[in-house]
Amino acid sequence: MSANIRTLAMPYCLDLQPCGRYALLNRNYKPVGFSGRSFVYYEEYPVLFNIRITPKKAAVISFKGDPDPRRIILYNDGCIPTANSETWLFYQAKLAILTRLHHYNDDEYHEQDKAKRIRLANLRDAKRFTEPKGVAVSLPPNLSPR
């Protein structure tokens, strides 16, 4: 399967994972730089980020201003970044926001608590978009506050 470099190497969306981390995906919903037809299990690769994205930040990053932090799409087929200078500048503004986000590494002892708090906050925000009002959804046991 052939594809242009934009499809493989440019971020298309951020996908919130059940662990509270984000996967940065290309247009084929594979981690940026990955190609091929086979399904990719993101957790098997070092492609997940502990970054804090609030609904407000999601709305700014999303091409359509959507505050839902579960899947943040940076562009769609109607506004392909490489189509013209206007869509490129629009996309570039989204990337500028992304590049200022800080990733907290689970492997660094002094960042582990911060990384866990970020994951919990991301999951709490996502619950607002998935559960009907008045219905409680529990967090995974490994992320539940002690």
Supply the range of the domain harboring residue 81.
5-143
Catalogue the E-assigned strands of 21-113.
22-25, 48-49, 71-73
How far is Cα 143 from Cα 99, in angstroms, rounded to an integer?
26
**Residues in the chain with pLDDT values less than 70:** 1-2, 131-146
Q: pTM for the whole thing?
A: 0.83
Percent of the chain with pLDDT over 70: 87
Domains in the chain: how many in total?
A: 1
